[in-house]
């Protein structure tokens, strides 16, 4: 059986909620906020989750992804305020795949995550953030039950790959 770690960075709890759903769908996996991870040697497969921030990844996550050992099997997931499937909700994840290019990326998952009305209004004042911040009005209530069910399905698919797919 492969050893699986679910690790995440989360400022306001949305990514943590998704990480817990993923962890809950896996038999015998570990879950740790990524600041508590001391190396990945003991794990065959690692889920890494983060919120989209300023069209990108939080910097500590970027550093973490760059340091993943070559060949390590990894699944990435993110939460975002912008609409599901929109370019603005995918760009950070695509960048994450790029910078973790030394790892073997088995799959990705993303879903919406609410942000406080105060933060949303403040960020919407900047021209470079208005588009996603306007979309984020309808992220209220996310991640919801359907998001978490999809996250669990993603987790089980990745687990199958980890066990049988050569990852
Ligand atoms: C400072 C800040 C910047 C953000 N930038 C973006 C962004 O560029 N695009 C986007 O879709 N969502 C953006 N969001 C929304 C977050 O990605 C979303 O609320 C996420 O679910 C937060 O996850 P967390 O609770 O795990 O921190 C931003 C939120 C904050 C607070």
- What is d(CA 18, CA 83) in angstroms, rounded to the nearest whole number? 17
Structure tokens at 9: 């960075």
- What domains can you pick out in the chain, each with its CATH number? 4-164 (3.40.50.360)
Q: State residue 164's pLDDT score.
A: 79
For residue 114, the ligand 1 atom closest to its alpha carbon is 19
pTM for the model stands at: 0.97
For the CA atoms of 18, 24, 28, 29, what is the dihedral angle to 10 degrees? 0
Residue the block writes with tokens 């879950």: 31
Give the model's pLDDT for residue 163.
85
Mutate to test the pocket of ligand 1, among 51, 86, 93, 109 (most ligand atoms within 8 A of CB): 51
Which atom of ligand 1 is the closest one to the Cα of 88? 11
**Ligand 1 pocket test: which of 50, 55, 80 has the largest number of ligand atoms within 8 Å of its C-beta?**
80
Report the C-alpha gap between 107 and 2 in whole angstroms. 17
Collapsing DSSP to helix, strand or coil, 3 comes out as: coil
Tens-digit pLDDT string for the chain (167 aa)? 579 999 999 999 999 999 999 999 999 899 999 899 999 999 999 999 999 999 999 999 999 999 999 999 999 999 999 999 899 999 999 999 999 999 999 999 999 999 999 999 999 999 999 999 999 999 999 999 999 999 999 999 999 998 876 66
CB 111 less than 6 A from any atom of ligand 1 = no
Q: Give the dihedral sign, CA 94/96/101/107.
A: negative
């Amino acid at each position: 059986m492969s050893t699986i770690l679910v690790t995440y960075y989360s400022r306001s709890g949305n990514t943590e909620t998704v990480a817990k759903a993923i962890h809950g769908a896996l038999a015998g996996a570990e879950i740790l906020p990524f600041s508590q991870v001391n190396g990945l040697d003991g794990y065959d497969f690692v889920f890494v989750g983060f919120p989209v921030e300023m069209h990108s990844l939080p910097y500590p996550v970027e550093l973490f992804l760059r340091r993943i050992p070559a060949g390590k099997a990894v699944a990435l997931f993110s939460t975002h305020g912008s609409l599901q499937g929109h370019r603005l909700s995918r760009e950070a994840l695509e960048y994450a795949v790029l910078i973790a290019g030394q790892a073997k990326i088995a799959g990705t998952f993303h879903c919406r995550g609410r942000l406080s009305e105060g933060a949303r209004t403040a960020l919407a004042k900047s021209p470079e953030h208005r588009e996603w911040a306007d979309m984020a009005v309808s992220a209220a209530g996310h991640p919801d039950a359907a998001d978490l069910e999809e996250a669990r399905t993603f987790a089980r698919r990745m687990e199958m790959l980890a066990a049988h797919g050569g990852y």
